[in-house]
Amino acid sequence: MRFKETGDVAAGRLSAEQLNQQFADVAPPLSRDQALVAANRCYFCYDAPCITACPTGIDIPAFIRKIQTDNLKGAATEILAANPLGGMCARVCPTEILCEGSCVRNAQESQPVQIGALQRHATDWVYENDVALFKRASETGRHIAVVGAGPAGLACAHKLALAGHRVTIYDARGKGGGLNEYGIAAYKTVEQFAQREIDWLLSVGGIDLKCGVALGVDISLAQLREDYDAVFLSMGLAGVNALGVEGDTLEGVHSAVDFIEVLRQTQDLSKLPVGRRVVVIGGGNTAVDVAVQSRKLGAQWVTMVYRRGVDSMSATWAEREFAQKSGVTLIEHARPVRILALDGVVTGVEFEQTVIDEGRLKGTGDVFTVPTDMVFKAIGQTLVSFGPGFELLATVGGKIEVDAHGATSLAGVWAGGDCAQTGTDLTVQAVEDGKRAAQSIDRALAAALSKAA
């Protein structure tokens, strides 16, 4: 996918040196001394609320205590046993509303223990030194197919491989990682970190990653069910919601997800066009990521517009604050009415002010225009069909319906991550989905083996 230079949409607004500075690591790693100081602030609570707040249940006080004694291997083992993508989660988790948001230090100092940074400190040591922490169980002879090499699929595959099963992961893209590789802001995960983490995860053995293989095109769900002992679906959400307004299909209107993907795979950011005036429609993390990165590419005016108030935004307070500090203007309570253009070139977006009336969003009739030459839609994604047989899966709320263990309505098929109705759309939740499904698959295979005997 290419983004064209038209009108005020241009590449090279900043020099290569400036871009390197703009897209440098937004949260540089702690030094050893900094990590020791941060670790010493932990109270090591007996009934630690931070553990409860972590979807993957990492024993946070335990790994921090190990950091205190310079036992990075022990700390990393504690983390990665619970969350095999603990390095990425240390970078992208909304810790401000999860573990750090629950830290008892907040009540005293309004400054929690730096749990995310400490988690990164321990896990980075593993990847940098290529340390093997886990060993596979004996081969079971069972073979599981995983569709989608994102956080849920990778976590599921890792747990199944440790249990002695063989796993083949299929992914439609050229590289594994899912949103970790293609959908997260570049300044959050630098130096090809997603691929380094995958290399470590696959090194446990028993996992075969096949990229460029798409469900519904190259393989079918029916065939996977026939060829494998179990199937785990974690393809994410491939469809993009439409604005449903006049001008939605104009050339200057883009999917925020697509732009972030192109940006993440672009070697020379000075060749990626960006508008002088950018409008982002949406209020989630994707909206923040595309808005901030537009500014970092050299856009002079970036406006993020959300139809409700900030309390309803899925982006956390920390993400909103970061966007505003980066020069992004936030407009609340406004919805798009139409996109304006001159000779096919986008010139602005007309918005209507909104109010919440008895819990429902309503327009007020008060209309205003925000000038722009580039519009990004960040209003959510949808599940698409993946060929014959996929329609047999029960869905709820536009996602695959699963039980508490990730099992779908089809025998032998589990699902997790963004494509399944399991909870919040967070990387750490996707990892937990994959873990939970792997445990359920392992139990089901063991029960089948016992029954056959």
CATH 3.50.50.60 boundaries in the chain: 143-238+383-452, 240-377
Which tokens go with 179? 């949103």
Residue 327: its H or E element: none
pLDDT in the model for residue 255: 93
Q: For 251-265, what is each residue's pLDDT tens digit?
A: 899 999 999 999 999
The fold of 240-377 is: FAD/NAD(P)-binding domain (3.50.50)
Low-confidence ranges of the chain (pLDDT < 70): 1-2, 452-453
pLDDT in the model for residue 389: 81
Where b means 16+ CB within 10 Å and e means fewer, 111-142 reads ebbbbbbbbbbbbbbbbeeeeebeeeeeebeb
Which residue has tokens 């026939």?
A: 226
pLDDT in the model for residue 242: 83
What lies within 8 Å, CB to CB, of 441 at 6+ separation is 144, 156, 160, 165, 230, 232, 414
Q: For 89-139, what is each residue's pLDDT tens digit?
A: 999 999 999 999 999 999 888 899 999 999 999 999 999 999 999 999 999
Terminal Cα distance for the chain, rounded:
53
CA-to-CA separations, 111 to 66, 407, 415, in angstroms, rounded = 22, 40, 38
Q: For 201-220, what is each residue's pLDDT tens digit?
A: 999 999 999 999 999 999 99
CB of 193 closer than 8 Å to CB of 427: no
Q: For 405-430, what is each residue's pLDDT tens digit?
A: 999 999 999 999 999 998 788 999 99
Tell me which architecture the domain covering 32-129 has in CATH: Orthogonal Bundle (1.10)
According to CATH, what is the number of the domain 143-238+383-452? 3.50.50.60
State phi, psi for 223 to the nearest 5 degrees.
-70, -40
For CA atoms 113, 116, 117, 119, the dihedral sign is positive
Concatenated DSSP letters of 182-248? HTS-TTTS-TTHHHHHHHHHHTTSSEEEEES--BTTTB-HHHHHHHSSEEEE-----EE----SBTT
CB of 194 closer than 8 Å to CB of 88: yes
Which tokens go with 113? 């223990």
Which tokens go with 43? 């109270």
CATH 1.10.1060.10 boundaries in the chain: 32-129
pLDDT in the model for residue 343: 87
pLDDT in the model for residue 163: 97
Could you give the CA distance from residue 72 to residue 126 in angstroms, rounded to a whole number?
A: 8
pLDDT in the model for residue 453: 59
